[in-house]
Structure 1
Amino acid sequence: MKLRIGYDLVYDCPQPTPMMLTLNVHFTRVSDVEVPDHLVTDPRVPLKAYRDAFGNWCSRIVAPAGRLRLRADAVIYDTGEPEEVVRVAEQHEVQDLPDECLVFLLGSRYCETDRLSEVAWQLFGQSPPGAARVQAICDYVHRRIVFDYEHARSTRTAAEAHDECRGVCRDYAHLAVAFCRCMNIPARYCTGYLSDIGAPPPYGPMDFAAWMEVYVGGRWCTFDPRNNTPRIGRVLMARGRDAADVAISNTFGPNVLSTFTVCAEEIAEPDDPAGLGHAAAGGSRQ
């Protein structure tokens, strides 16, 4: 199966504004890319690529005063199958974890392990360790938070999402990540594209999605507390401690994001012109 992915963003800047952008497909999917997601700017500006501390592909630009359009239009291969469900995987003792996992046990900007530790142990202390405990956390977070895009707030933390019982995909991910870390399970925040293939309608406007990866059974495994069901067409862009590490843009000056469009949809094959091989792919606020 092929997916068309991309975005169209327009920023209005009253003055020249340096930007750091995290908008590329993650390097672990490079072998699946048929048409690269090259960042195109209008007007054209010099662009410098770099790898951040977590290995994500990023870009640096200086937006000129006025209107700047950022866009990409890419094609990527996907299996077309629902993603793996990890039901059995051991939880490692902290002293046995690889060194690179340790940072994902610590509290971070949006994942306040110090505020949530007591709650986490009360809720999940008796659950079986490992993947079963992670799934128990996802089940709880999925039930606890009501998806509410109208009340999205970029400053909402995991503890606040738990208290307010509402949020968007990043809030689900932050709360689940924080609970996992409280239970001594390394967890990292992920962002990327997520198609609506196989998901029931209605579909809303597309957005970038957030989920998490946890280290159990000697590997990093994907869990999605927002959707809490296997999905088709998940494309990783970036990983970090929380949303602060993987923001699509960090801007160093006043600006307004006036246009925001994201696409992740199946491309019909020649022998399937109507795209009937899968449920219709639309966009949704993940």
Structure 2
Amino acid sequence: MQIKSGFSLTYDCPQPTPMLLTLNIHPSRRVDLLTPQLLSFSPEVEPWEYLDVYGNVCTRITAPAGQLTISTEFELYDAGLPDIVPLDARQHDIRDLPDETLIYLLGSRYCETDELANIAWNLFGQTPPGWPRVQGILDFVHQHIAFDYQKADRTRTAYGAYIDQTGVCRDFAHLALTFCRCMNIPARYCTGYLGDIGVPFNPDPMDFSGWFEVYLGGHWYSADARHNEPRIGRILMARGRDATDVALSTQFGPATLSSFSVTTYQMPDPIGQR
């Protein structure tokens, strides 16, 4: 299938403000592009890109005083298959984990493994290791947190989500991946596009989506506590320890997000194709 995606963000800056952006799709998905995916700036600024330590494409700019609009639009090929559910994927012993996965067992800014370790072992200590344990965590978090855009809080941590029992997709992801880390399963945060493909249409305004990946059986697998079902059409933008590492923008000075829109949808099949 073909998916069309994009966004438009407008920032108001009272003075020239350096910014760090994580708004490009992940290098692993660039092979699937059917049209270029480039960031556009109005007014024009001079951007430069680099790969961060997690392999994400980051963009550095200096936003001018006044309004700056950042946008992109692109088309991408997707296999149209739902997320893999690795029912038989085994959980590795700590000593057998690759070195590069160990950072995803540790606590981070939004994922307080120290606060949640005892809770995790009390809740999931009797679950079978491997994917059944991940599924048990997904089921619990899916039921424990009530999704509510009005209750979004960019400072809420995984422990805060456990206590508040409300939040948005990043809160579901933070709590579930922290529980996984507490249970010795490497887990990393993901952000990207996820449209209403293969599911009932949602009339709410579209947003970027947050989910996570777990390392089992020698591979990373997508997991999504908010939806708690395999989904079609994820387009990865960035991965990291938590939302801090994949923030859409980091401003080194005053800046206000004044306009925000995201689109992603399946394009109609070309005539003569099914």
Alignment correspondent of 2:185: 185
Alignment correspondent of 1:38: 38
Which one is further off, 198-207 or 220-229?
A: 198-207
Alignment correspondent of 1:163: 163
Deviation at 1:86, TM superposition (A): 1.9
Cα distance in 2 between the residues matched to 1:126 and 1:191: 31
1:1-286 maps to which residues of 2 (within 5 A)? 1-271=1-271
Q: What one-letter code is carried by the residue in structure 1 that aligns with 2:239? A: R
Seen in structure 2, the aligned counterparts of structure 1 residues 272 and 211 have a Cα distance that, compared at 3 Å, is farther
Alignment correspondent of 1:282: none
Deviation at 1:202, TM superposition (A): 3.4
Number of residue pairs matched? 274
Q: What one-letter code is carried by the residue in structure 1 that aligns with 2:255? A: N
Cα distance in 1 between the residues matched to 2:256 and 2:150: 19
Q: What one-letter code is carried by the residue in structure 1 that aligns with 2:189? A: Y
Deviation at 1:272, TM superposition (A): 7.7
Cα distance in 1 between the residues matched to 2:168 and 2:254: 25
Q: TM-score, normalised by structure 1?
A: 0.94
3-state DSSP class of the match of 2:213?
strand
3-state DSSP class of the match of 1:18?
strand
Q: Which runs of 5+ in 2 are unaligned?
A: none
Contact map agreement 2:196 2:202 (CA 8 A) in 1: no
Q: What one-letter code is carried by the residue in structure 1 that aligns with 2:148? A: D
Deviation at 1:120, TM superposition (A): 0.1
Q: TM-score, normalised by structure 2?
A: 0.98
Q: What one-letter code is carried by the residue in structure 2 that aligns with 1:10? A: T
Give per-residue Cα distances to partners, 1:66-85, cap 9 Å, x unaligned: 00000001111011222222
Deviation at 1:203, TM superposition (A): 2.5
Q: Which runs of 5+ in 1 are unaligned?
A: 278-286
